[in-house]
Amino acid sequence: MGTSFGPVDAARWIAVPGPADDKYTRGVVGLVTGSARYPGAAVIGVEAALHTGVGMARYHGAGRPTRLVLQRRPEAVTAEGRVQAWVVGSGQDPDDLDELTAAHRDRALADPVPTVIDAGALPFVERVAGTRVLVPHAGELARVLGRDRSEVLAEPAASALDAASRYSAVVLLKGHTTRIADPGGGLLEVSAAPAWTATAGTGDALAGVLGALLATHALELEADPGCAAPLAATATVLHGLAAERAGRGAPFTVLGLCAELPAVVRELLAG
Ligand SMILES: NC(=O)C1=CN([C@@H]2O[C@H](COP(=O)(O)OP(=O)(O)OC[C@H]3O[C@@H](n4cnc5c(N)ncnc54)[C@H](O)[C@@H]3O)[C@@H](O)[C@H]2O)[C@@H](O)CC1
Ligand SMILES: Nc1ncnc2c1ncn2[C@@H]1O[C@H](COP(=O)(O)OP(=O)(O)O)[C@@H](O)[C@H]1O
């Protein structure tokens, strides 16, 4: 039904910095992820974004996730400032979120730049001012559509397309085959990841990879918001190939997946 999207396609969507670039022209991604309940999701998203390649990652959240992010990645910037893309909602429960994080979330959702909307931010999709990229798993998409999870699993492509049309969004429905639906009815399919990828936290990493790709393609997205769909497919390819490299037919950890991202980028650029 959809168009298959693979490594050759993905290689076209990796921004390579040139001699005239600085950290700001490369692109800054902002993350409002994690919470007291799920602090690790904050660390994973930042780790994934930095390993995908970005000029800067800004992180905004509560005290504990912020400390953990800085402990792992001192290069993360916690001061507020402009970003070219946001990642919002991984590791958050909208019914159990502190006021500071909720305020950061609401500011990010109102910023008219491309925004990755994950997990706890999905209920707020209609508030998102910029180009919307939803990254639900089947259970989350079911809640977004008001359907049963079994219905989404039975008709994944149609479900993703429905949500894309309803919310004028790119919808990346995660799974062994990941479907990327756009509001115009386009559908891309990516099957790059081993089934070992079904482990807690890999979705948080995917959101970070995608945030980095959106931030480093700000000019392309401004000229054509439709670029969000191939960029979402590219994130899925990078993530799947990094999972394959991290596990090589065996289990792996999410930080191990993130550590493989630069090698995957190198391989794709080498052709
Ligand atoms: N390290 C971290 O901080 C992580 C944080 N995460 C965050 O955790 C939050 C919740 O994500 P979920 O995808 O779990 O949320 P969901 O609410 O989509 O999934 C929970 C549902 O899974 C089912 N379920 C739970 N335990 C089960 C079991 N043992 N066997 C069968 N079914 C079971 C139940 O139906 C439950 O309602 C999100 O904000 C997500 O981003 C996850 O990404 C995991 C890693
Ligand atoms: N059977 C599978 N084969 C390959 N990849 C999978 C499989 N199941 C899940 N994945 C991938 O693992 C990731 C899981 O994301 P998600 O469900 O959001 O987990 P979490 O919220 O724990 O981070 C997604 O990238 C998804 O595409």
Residues contacting 235, CB < 8 A, separation 6+:
52, 172, 206, 209, 210, 213
Kindly report, residue by residue over 132-181, the tens digit of the pLDDT: 999 999 999 999 999 999 999 999 999 999 999 999 999 999 999 999 99
Tokens 């479900």 found at: 159
**Which pLDDT value is given to residue 98?**
96
Residue 59's nearest CA partner among 114, 97, 39 is 39
For residues 231 and 115, the answer to whether their CB atoms sit within 8 Å is no
Give the pLDDT band of residue 1 (cuts 50, 70, 90): confident
Phi-psi region at 223: left, alpha or beta (left = phi > 0; alpha = psi -120 to 50): alpha
Mutate to test the pocket of ligand 2, among 35, 174, 236 (most ligand atoms within 8 A of CB): 174
Q: How many angstroms separate the CA atoms of 47 and 45, rounded?
A: 5
Q: Is 140 in the pocket of ligand 1 (CB under 6 A)?
A: yes
Kindly report, residue by residue over 225-237, the tens digit of the pLDDT: 999 999 999 999 9
Q: Is 198 in the pocket of ligand 2 (CB under 6 A)?
A: yes
Kindly report, residue by residue over 253-267, the tens digit of the pLDDT: 999 999 999 999 999
Mean residue pLDDT across the chain: 98
What's the CA-to-centroid distance between 271 and ligand 1, angstroms?
37
Q: Which sequence spans correspond to the domains of the chain?
A: 3-13+26-262
Tokens 């706890």 found at: 120
Kindly report, residue by residue over 10-28, the tens digit of the pLDDT: 999 999 999 999 999 999 9
CATH number, span 3-13+26-262: 3.40.1190.20
* ipTM computed for the complex: 0.95
Kindly report, residue by residue over 32-85, the tens digit of the pLDDT: 999 999 999 999 999 999 999 999 999 999 999 999 999 999 999 999 999 999
